[in-house]
Amino acid sequence: MTRPLHPTALVTGGNRGIGRAIVAGLKAKGCAVTLAARSDEAGRRAAAELGVAFARIDLTEPDSYFEVLTRAGGFDILVNN
């Protein structure tokens, strides 16, 4: 199996701290990153600042992550922060 040239990544809790650093690092490596956060406002702001996609995901609301995964068709990398 060959690795994708530009893998896709989903980073939960990516709007601050270690999650945000991981988002920035994956983007720097050429990944197409989706930053996921529970807070719509904070998540959108962080995603815009980092130049990545945003998805609102709250693990207590299964519909929120099911929609994101279905729409994206899956991810090559998952960082569950």
CATH number, domain 8-80:
3.40.50.720
**What is the model's pTM?**
0.90
Domains in the chain: boundaries: 8-80
User: Phi-psi category of 20—alpha, beta or left, where left has phi over 0 and alpha has psi -120 to 50?
Assistant: alpha
Give the model confidence (pLDDT) of 18-53 as tens digits.
999 999 999 999 999 999 999 999 999 999 999 999
pLDDT of residue 28: 97
* pLDDT tops 80 at residue 4: no
Give the model confidence (pLDDT) of 63-75 as tens digits.
888 888 888 888 9
pLDDT of residue 57: 93
3-state helix, strand, coil in the chain (%, to 5): 40, 25, 35
